[in-house]
Amino acid sequence: MRASVIQIAVDEGESVESRRRRAASLVRDQAGADLVVLPELWTTGAFAYDAFGTEAEPLEGPTYEAMAKAASDAGVWLHAGSIPERDPDGPLYNTSLVFSPSGDLAAAYRKIHRFGFDKGEAVLMGAGGELVTVRLPTTTLGLATCYDLRFPELFRGLVDAGAETLVVSAGWPERRRSHWTLLARARAVENQSFVLACATAGAHAGVPQSGHSIVVDPWGEVLAEAGADEEVLTVEFDPGKVATTREQFPALKDRILGLQPPRRP
Ligand SMILES: NC(=O)CCC(=O)C(=O)O
């Protein structure tokens, strides 16, 4: 399986429309890949909170249209990263879109864990409530977005639902880059799954972005890691390695569910 992880730069100097055109062109350039991945909120920037409201789109808005066409032009499965979605009957959501090679929407995932504690995304957007997996011909994707990476129970839920390749679309800050790579490897090892983690480059809203998109195999080995700048990371991997790892080192079978909290004396 060949995957292309597009670590696009999200800088304030470029308009949303220009970045949308550029992203579509980068996706088209990946014809021949099986799966292409874009990062979180790459139209606005994950930390450009002021732009969430002004740039929010309906699910089937301009980014959806551009990405559906790019997926079918390239003939690839496309995880198009996430958009600020305006739900006509509700709040904004941070919603990831996955398209099939014919350009049909295969899945939409509304980010469950919103970042910012008592400000930013955490107050501007609603929380998704459903885990999402997507069946591809050779693997099943489990979807997660950025801050979700810190919550191992979400990934365990995806594995229980059949995920073998965990895709994390992110806009992660440079300041916490060491957490990003560490957590991506941890999620791969503990879930005996591939992790494809796609971050943004550039800087917006005064927040330099981490870059360092990373692809990790089910044994925790780093198959590829980007630098800090815009880059397309291309990697070939054998999805069958998930089954062999889980057979040869069957730690997932030793889970003990329903552990009780300690009894108070
Ligand atoms: N966009 C995000 O979810 C940022 C997450 C982050 O900065 C962190 O977990 O650290």
- What digits encode the pLDDT tens for the residues 187-206? 999 999 999 999 999 999 99
The percentage of residues in the chain with a pLDDT greater than 90, rounded to a whole number, is 98
The verdict on the CB of residue 171 being under 6 Å from ligand 1 is yes
pLDDT band for position 232 (cuts 50, 70, 90): very high
pLDDT tens-place string over residues 50-63: 999 999 999 999 99
Cβ atoms within 10 Å of 18's Cβ, excluding its own: 10
Beta-strand pair 35-37/77-86 = parallel
SS3 of the chain: helix, strand, coil, percent, to 5 = 30, 30, 40
pLDDT tens-place string over residues 165-182: 999 999 999 999 999 999
CA 85–ligand 1 middle distance (angstroms)? 18
pLDDT of residue 89: 87
pLDDT of residue 208: 98
Mean pLDDT of 243-260: 96
Chain centroid to Cα 265, Å, comes to: 44
Mean pLDDT of 54-81: 98
pLDDT of residue 265: 77
Test site for ligand 1: of 115, 180, 182, most ligand atoms within 8 A of the Cβ: 115
pLDDT band for position 155 (cuts 50, 70, 90): very high
- ∠ CA 123-175-40, nearest 5°, is 50
The verdict on the CB of residue 42 being under 6 Å from ligand 1 is no
**Residues with Cβ within 8 Å of residue 98, at least 6 apart in sequence:** 77, 78, 79, 80, 105, 106, 107, 108, 109, 134, 141, 143
Ligand 1 atom at minimum distance from 145 CA: 3
Supply the ipTM of this predicted assembly.
0.99
The verdict on the CB of residue 199 being under 6 Å from ligand 1 is no
Q: Report d(CA 85, CA 97) in Å as an integer.
A: 10
